[in-house]
Structure 1
């Protein structure tokens, strides 16, 4: 490969261009060649049109995006790039990094400046790089942008959703938009990230934990190791580790005693929740609820962390064949986590949606030992079709007892199950008419009082370790289930609680222990 071919290869590669021609100040303010760390390299080599990044703090993501903005501005004349952050101070810091990196470029590559003010670098080749604070006004409207970088998006505030939509419209057809941030509770960013993670929107999802950025903290690890030794008279040893720390050492390649020492002292200086938000080890522990959450968030996150990916049984591992009516949903809307047993009682919670793409119709199945064995979740299926699905699930699990919420489409489900499918093992409740005469009705009548009772029962059984949850979707809903200002309970705005309610009803059936043999 001759020099011309080498230059062409570098020119067409953001990674090679940055590492070949750009310099940055290191943490000691020494000017060094910009060698991308593993996180930066992975992001740049795998970025898509729309990118969303949840990360641990201070890993060097903003400087990598400054490098990308300069790359596009230099290699593609007449290109506009936009860099945004959540505060004026943060925006100013990013712009200063950008100007420093521009100033350190080789003269032969450095485009001449046409304009250099507090918010913009404009080059004589027609390209511009602008830096603004997101939230103050609509930025980017009317523009066609090659590259958009939004730093600390989770901290932008209420206007985040509206402004993001405007920015998406301004992106060029061959452009790139990157959102990167540490977590900040359960907000619009959390919702957007979860959808990206589940492949429910256009964004490509990236997560980088504090092991991925460990190379940026070597001096800090040494400092905290010294502090620990000053306090304890010796370094941390393997025999000093807690069970949680031992598990971290086992689960994460690159985890060392020095990092554990740093982590332990960081948590001691703040709290476990705060550390997990700033320096998450998994994306599940990063999101800490700032509201009045019903379930203990740390325990929920720990449960999610230990769930294996795709932990449901494969079709060929089921000991009992699924009817074709359930088979078509398996692995998409219907999951079985533990095989059916012929001598076991099953308790089945049923929450019904309208089948119009909003609230979900959900079924959660528990065995008599308190383990979740199956879950169904679908928001497209119509109530009359859903009754058939519930009937098949009930029969599959030993004609288990159905606890069906009567609200919404629940009346339709109950009527079809009872009178069309002749399903007899259904929980009943007592009520009294105006004359004081007792009546028994099928289903579960949800009121503010009864809802509080079954949710508190669910919470107690979960937090005392009397049940085992296998559905990650249920655990995710538990994270956003809160007590409202008026005292009611439900999902935060923009989220769902259908699996939480189905689980609570299944556990109410388990608690009552009623079982009709037919």
Structure 2
């Protein structure tokens, strides 16, 4: 490979370009070559057009994304890059970082600066890098953007975040790259967007980087913490000092005693919840739920971790030999089975119905007699008559299971179709009174503030007593967001859904019901 070929290889590769032609300042202010850390390198090697990054603090991601914008501006003339942050102070910091990186690039390579003000770098090759703050009107409107970086997106008001993201997506070039990166900040639009991307429910590719992935950035801090521990305890931090929890953490690939010593001192200063938000080990740890949560946050997090440790996943379709054809069509998309039907076993269904117009979800939760969640179905685009057909097929598949169907919304239509067309009668009933105060029994479950509180509290009790085994990550996510308001109302926080929670509480009604009805 001759000199020109070597140069073109570097010119056409952002990692090689950054590492060969840019410099950063080290801890003592000395300029050194910008050698990407493992997190920065992994992202650049695997990014897509639409990316969302959940990360631990101070890992250097925003610096590498600033370098990436400079790479595009220099190597692709007439490119427009947009750098956004959640507040003015952070926007200025990103702009200053851009200028510092630009000034380290060899003169022969970088285009001349035509404009250098508080918000924009304009180059002689026609490229522009603009820095703005989220919340300003018309961000990105009228532009055709090669690269968009949104920093600390979780700290942007959810309504603003959603509205402006839509505008930015429309401004992105077909070959453009959009990168959303943030530490966590409670349960909000960023939380929803990240977990939807993780479940492949949107166009974004999700990345998560924990404090082990960014450990190379904290070597000096690790040394300081070790020294502080020794000053306090008169001996070096060792395995003999580890708690049972820390001994388990040490088994994780990449974990070291230095990291654990640093972790312990960080937690002693800020508390475990704040540490997990700013320096999460898993994406589950990152999001702090509100203090008004109905379900114990630690128990929910422990249940999520158990699914990861046990590698819980749904049964592959080819192992479900007798699954009806209509259920096969939606299996792995909206239907997931964790435990197949057992002959003679009684199963309990909880069913929450929606109108199927991309809002709330139509949900089926299936419990066995021991309280294990064995199957789930959720879809926010299924019409009530089709949902009734799916309920019928799945109910008959699970030994003509007992159904408890919430009557609100489309519930009445689903009940009528099950009874009249499918002759499915194994449903719970409730007592009501006619105009003459004569008692009568009606199919389904009548949800009101009183009955909702009762069935939710039954679910809380079984969960906290360890009598409910949840195999659904989606349900656990809803449980984290399910709260009680000051007026006593129980519902999902913010923009979240609670259809899975409601369906599970209804399935418990079926499980605890004494009677089953002949089909």
* TM-score > 0.5, shorter chain as reference: yes
Find the residue that maps to 1:339 and give its secondary structure.
coil
Work out the CA distance in 2 between the residues paired with 1:263 and 1:121: 40
1:194 paired residue number:
195
Residue 340 of structure 2 contacts residue 374 of structure 2 at CA under 8 Å; is this kept in 1?
Answer: yes
CA RMSD of aligned residues (A): 2.2
Residue 51 of structure 1 contacts residue 206 of structure 1 at CA under 8 Å; is this kept in 2?
Answer: yes
2:393 paired residue number:
392
Unaligned runs of 5+ residues in structure 1 are none
Q: Which moved more, 1:151-160 or 1:361-370?
A: 151-160
Q: Which moved more, 1:494-503 or 1:382-391?
A: 382-391
Work out the CA distance in 2 between the residues paired with 1:258 and 1:379: 47
Find the residue that maps to 2:174 and give its secondary structure.
strand
Work out the CA distance in 2 between the residues paired with 1:230 and 1:436: 78
Cα displacement string for residues 327-384 of structure 1 (whole angstroms, at most 9, x for unaligned residues): 2222222221123222422211111122333322211111111111111112333222
Describe the shift of the 1:347–1:99 C-alpha distance in structure 2 as closer, same or farther (beyond 3 A).
Answer: same
1:339 paired residue number:
340
1:438 paired residue number:
439
1:375 aligns with 2:364: no
2:154 paired residue number:
154
Q: Which moved more, 1:235-244 or 1:327-336?
A: 235-244
Cα displacement string for residues 288-333 of structure 1 (whole angstroms, at most 9, x for unaligned residues): 2246322223332332232145611123434x62222322222222
Work out the CA distance in 1 between the residues paired with 2:199 and 2:92: 34
Q: Which moved more, 1:95-104 or 1:484-493?
A: 484-493
Describe the shift of the 1:238–1:515 C-alpha distance in structure 2 as closer, same or farther (beyond 3 A).
Answer: farther
2:355 paired residue number:
354
Describe the shift of the 1:380–1:141 C-alpha distance in structure 2 as closer, same or farther (beyond 3 A).
Answer: closer
2:484 paired residue number:
483
2:316 paired residue number:
314
In the TM superposition, 1:92-171 aligns within 5 A as 92-157=92-157, 158-171=159-172
In the TM superposition, 1:404-419 aligns within 5 A as 404-419=405-420
2:220 paired residue number:
219
Aligned length: 516
Residue 334 of structure 1 contacts residue 376 of structure 1 at CA under 8 Å; is this kept in 2?
Answer: yes
Work out the CA distance in 2 between the residues paired with 1:126 and 1:329: 50
Shift of 1:485: 4.8
Work out the CA distance in 1 between the residues paired with 2:367 and 2:241: 39
Work out the CA distance in 2 between the residues paired with 1:197 and 1:12: 30
Cα displacement string for residues 206-230 of structure 1 (whole angstroms, at most 9, x for unaligned residues): 1111111111111212222232333
Work out the CA distance in 1 between the residues paired with 2:249 and 2:514: 39
Shift of 1:70: 1.5
Describe the shift of the 1:355–1:78 C-alpha distance in structure 2 as closer, same or farther (beyond 3 A).
Answer: closer
Describe the shift of the 1:384–1:129 C-alpha distance in structure 2 as closer, same or farther (beyond 3 A).
Answer: closer
TM-score (norm 1): 0.93
Residue 491 of structure 1 contacts residue 497 of structure 1 at CA under 8 Å; is this kept in 2?
Answer: yes
TM-score (norm 2): 0.93
Q: Which moved more, 1:451-460 or 1:414-423?
A: 414-423
